[in-house]
Amino acid sequence: MIVLKDILYKVTLEKVVGNTATAIRELHFDSRKIGLDDVFVAIKGTISDGHEYIKKAVDQGAIAIICEVLPEQMVNGVTYVEVADSQQALAIMAANYYENPSEEIMLIGATGTNGKTTITTLLYNLFLGLGYTCGLLSTVKVMIGAKEYKATHTTPDSLTINKYLRAMVDAGIEYCFMEVSSHGIAQKRTEALRFDGGIFTNLSHDHLDYHKDFAEYRNVKKQFFDDLPKNAFSLVNIDDKNGAFMLQNTNSKKYTYALKSIADYKAHVLENHFGGLLLKIESHELWVKLIGNFNAYNVLAIYASAKLLDVDTIELLQQLSTLESVSGRFQYTVSREQKITAIVDYAHTPDALKNVLETINAIRTGNEELITVVGCGGDRDATKRPKMGNIASQLSTKVIFTSDNPRTENPDTIIEEIESGVSPENFKKMLSITDRKQAIKTACQMAMENDIILIAGKGHETYQEINGERFDFDDFKIVTNLLTNLKK
Ligand SMILES: CC(=O)N[C@H]1[C@@H](OP(=O)(O)OP(=O)(O)OC[C@H]2O[C@@H](n3ccc(=O)[nH]c3=O)[C@H](O)[C@@H]2O)O[C@H](CO)[C@@H](O)[C@@H]1O[C@H](C)C(=O)N[C@@H](C)C(=O)N[C@H](CCC(=O)O)C(=O)O
Ligand SMILES: Nc1ncnc2c1ncn2[C@@H]1O[C@H](COP(=O)(O)OP(=O)(O)OP(=O)(O)O)[C@@H](O)[C@H]1O
């Protein structure tokens, strides 16, 4: 039997009307899920206010209501608890409800604008290879041992996280690697979790549709490190100009990694081409099958994390050399006859797109065409559109602007906004094809021997979202198929 008072442990209570010794069944923050004897946590959201659904929750059988403002009319037999912050209360209650699973597993979080999925997935694969049992909470998928679940968020809500962590602990899983998004931190989805380590990758212009400005976005990321406990490690990329800021107020053990600056963990890129990366990490030379300078940072972060988790260096180097690239993250295929290389990458921010294009330009000989197919999502930060148009047209020899999850916006209007960032001298490089499949097909038809096609923005996604509906769409499958059947 679960008692309300027990799951309220550590929640600061402002006011209580009713009995907290009451037995409860489930905990929910969505009134639509409430059944008999459940607890409803009312949250002020971005679209609606959970407080408006309190009556509905009670009508459906809720035995307790947790809210920031008590309703005027309260029903006898229902317990009403006023708290200062419902999201925080939910996080603490969720941890209590699932008996604090984060305290029974090694939990490592990665945050930053880019690299979270790559780092957490590679850490997961690395630790599996080392013989540990592992869990993964990422944008692409959730893994609990061998069982795969569809991910709905980069960082799910606190109830879902704790439910997954409990399932991992019950399955005997030793390590969980999870992505920590800025939305997740801001909405307190990760509060009340006990992390054993936190990794900071980098910070650039992103999510400014959600966060007020860059300063707020940066402060939210820092909050994750501020909250890490004394025994956890904070591992930050100190080459990033915001790296030092992340470490300012944390009580955790502070470590840095870098390719350029002085750092606790340092690497040099000795070779960088389509075959992979040759790195010198500390005194060790290491070949990895990952491409591009940014992956040198990712490999270094993984190496440093594993060292901080006491992995044997020889075994670690051996496993690192076997790692394969992550789905939709610089995933590539080469057509057999024409040797046309197609790269599918999730780059959907100006900085990530610039990184990927610079990575390709650093590797290519210069004689080939670099044809980029790219779009920007609808109903999301519109300020990045001209920036991405500018970057794509400057750093490619040809560019095709197309759709990328237009959602409720008109895809042609989005494309016009992307085009507005292209400077006149690059107009001749530019084409616009609204239909993404047609855009990819045109790129394949335009490509000649040894040319390179970059299809950016969607990465691992297997859909195109138009007006609330998701249609099957997979960049990598489409381009692989087109290149296989290409007749020139
Ligand atoms: C903008 C945003 O982050 N929204 C998240 C937020 O929902 P919200 O504030 O919009 O909720 P709302 O619809 O206003 O409703 C407010 C409250 O009323 C409740 N309600 C609502 C209707 C009803 O009938 N009954 C009821 O009780 C809702 O359950 C909610 O508690 O809280 C929900 C529960 O945690 C999230 O599912 C939801 O994520 C939406 C779906 C989303 O798309 N989020 C994205 C932007 C996101 O979080 N992305 C980051 C990664 C970003 C990145 O790095 O790319 C992520 O971690 O996934
Ligand atoms: N360390 C890095 N620095 C810069 N760019 C990177 C880094 N690692 C990966 N990238 C590039 O950034 C993009 C996103 O990578 P990844 O999915 O790993 O990041 P993320 O932080 O999980 O982003 P998201 O939450 O949007 O999925 C990809 O295009 C990838 O090529």
CA 45 to ligand 1 center in whole angstroms:
7
CA 88 to ligand 1 center in whole angstroms:
15
* Closest ligand 2 atom to Cα of 352: 12
Residue 168 structure tokens: 């991992």
Which residues face 58 on adjacent strands? Answer: none
108 with 225, same domain?
Answer: yes
Domain count, the chain: 3
185 with 254, same domain?
Answer: yes
d(CA 49, CA 87): 12
Instruction: Output the CA torsion sign for 466, 468, 470, 474.
Output: positive
- 137 within some domain: yes
d(CA 151, CA 139): 6
Strands lying side by side in the sheet with 197-200: 147-150, 141-144, 134-137, 175-179, 106-111, 197-200, 233-237, 253-258, 265-273, 276-281, 284-288
47 close to ligand 1 (CB < 6 Angstrom): yes
221 with 283, same domain?
Answer: yes
Nearest residue by C-alpha to atom 37 in ligand 1: 157
CA 47 to ligand 1 center in whole angstroms:
8
124 with 270, same domain?
Answer: yes
- 347 within some domain: yes
330 close to ligand 2 (CB < 6 Angstrom): yes
* Closest ligand 2 atom to Cα of 347: 29
Q: What number is the average pLDDT over the span 427-455?
A: 96
314 with 346, same domain?
Answer: no
191 close to ligand 1 (CB < 6 Angstrom): no
Our mutation pick for probing the ligand 1 site, out of 47, 68, 207, counting the most ligand atoms within 8 A of Cβ, is 47
Cα→Cα distances 3→24, 66, 98, 484, Å: 6, 14, 13, 61
- 163 within some domain: yes
Q: How many residues does the chain have?
A: 488
d(CA 17, CA 239): 53
Q: What number is the average pLDDT over the span 147-171?
A: 97
DSSP 285-343: EEEES--SHHHHHHHHHHHHHHHHTT--HHHHHHHHTTPPPPTTSSEEEE-TTT--EEE
Q: What is the CATH number of the domain that holds 335?
A: 3.90.190.20
297 in Cβ contact with 200 (< 8 Å):
no
269 in Cβ contact with 259 (< 8 Å):
yes
305 with 365, same domain?
Answer: no
Give per-residue pLDDT as tens, 453-476. 999 999 999 999 999 999 999 999
- 326 within some domain: no
Q: What is the CATH number of the domain that holds 267?
A: 3.40.1190.10
CA 118 to ligand 2 center in whole angstroms:
6
159 with 224, same domain?
Answer: yes
d(CA 119, CA 110): 7
pTM: 0.89
Instruction: Output the CA torsion sign for 425, 429, 430, 431.
Output: positive
229 close to ligand 1 (CB < 6 Angstrom): no
At 487 the pLDDT is 67
25 with 153, same domain?
Answer: no
How many CB atoms lie under 10 A from the CB of residue 410? 11
- 121 within some domain: yes
Question: What SS3 state is found at 168?
Answer: helix
Q: Which residue ranges are tagged as binding site?
A: 31, 112-118, 154-155, 181, 187, 189, 380, 404-407, 457, 461
- 177 within some domain: yes
d(CA 17, CA 5): 13
* b (16+ CB within 10 A) / e for 284-312: eebebebbbebbbbbbbbbbbbbbbbebe
d(CA 148, CA 128): 15
- Whether residue 478 is predicted with pLDDT greater than 90 in this model: the reply is yes
201 with 342, same domain?
Answer: no
Which of residues 97, 123, 149 is at a domain's end?
A: 97
Which of residues 79, 97, 115 is at a domain's end?
A: 97
Query: Could you say which DSSP state residue 350 is in?
Result: H
CA 213 to ligand 1 center in whole angstroms:
20
Q: Which residue ranges are tagged as binding site for meso-2,6-diaminopimelate?
A: 380, 404-407, 457, 461
29 close to ligand 1 (CB < 6 Angstrom): yes
221 close to ligand 2 (CB < 6 Angstrom): no
Across the chain, mean pLDDT equals 95
At 246 the pLDDT is 98
ipTM score:
0.97
Q: Which residue ranges are tagged as binding site for ATP?
A: 112-118
Sorted by sequence, the CB contacts under 8 Å of residue 301 that are 6+ apart come out as 110, 115, 119, 199, 201, 235, 237, 257
Nearest residue by C-alpha to atom 7 in ligand 1: 45
CA 423 to ligand 2 center in whole angstroms:
27
6 with 137, same domain?
Answer: no
CA 180 to ligand 2 center in whole angstroms:
13
Which of residues 64, 97, 130 is at a domain's end?
A: 97
At 366 the pLDDT is 83
CA 392 to ligand 2 center in whole angstroms:
17
At 346 the pLDDT is 92
Q: What is the CATH number of the domain that holds 25?
A: 3.40.1390.10
Give per-residue pLDDT as tens, 233-274. 999 999 999 999 999 999 999 999 999 999 999 999 999 887
- Whether residue 317 is predicted with pLDDT greater than 90 in this model: the reply is yes
Q: Quick one: which ligand is closest to 180's CA?
A: 1
28 close to ligand 2 (CB < 6 Angstrom): no
Give per-residue pLDDT as tens, 94-129. 999 999 999 999 999 999 998 999 999 999 999 999
107 with 91, same domain?
Answer: no
Q: Quick one: which ligand is closest to 217's CA?
A: 1
By the 10 Å C-beta count (0-12 exposed, 13-18 middle, 19+ buried), 480 is classed as middle
- 67 within some domain: yes
Instruction: Output the CA torsion sign for 12, 17, 18, 22.
Output: negative
CA 170 to ligand 1 center in whole angstroms:
28
CA 194 to ligand 2 center in whole angstroms:
25
217 close to ligand 1 (CB < 6 Angstrom): no
257 with 113, same domain?
Answer: yes
At 281 the pLDDT is 97
Instruction: Please state whether 109 falls in left (phi above 0), alpha (psi between -120 and 50) or beta.
Output: beta
- 325 within some domain: no
At 211 the pLDDT is 66
Nearest residue by C-alpha to atom 10 in ligand 1: 46
Give per-residue pLDDT as tens, 330-342. 888 888 888 898 9
114 close to ligand 2 (CB < 6 Angstrom): yes
| Residue-range definition of the domain harbouring residue 128 | 101-320
Q: What number is the average pLDDT over the span 431-449?
A: 96
d(CA 218, CA 242): 8
116 close to ligand 2 (CB < 6 Angstrom): yes
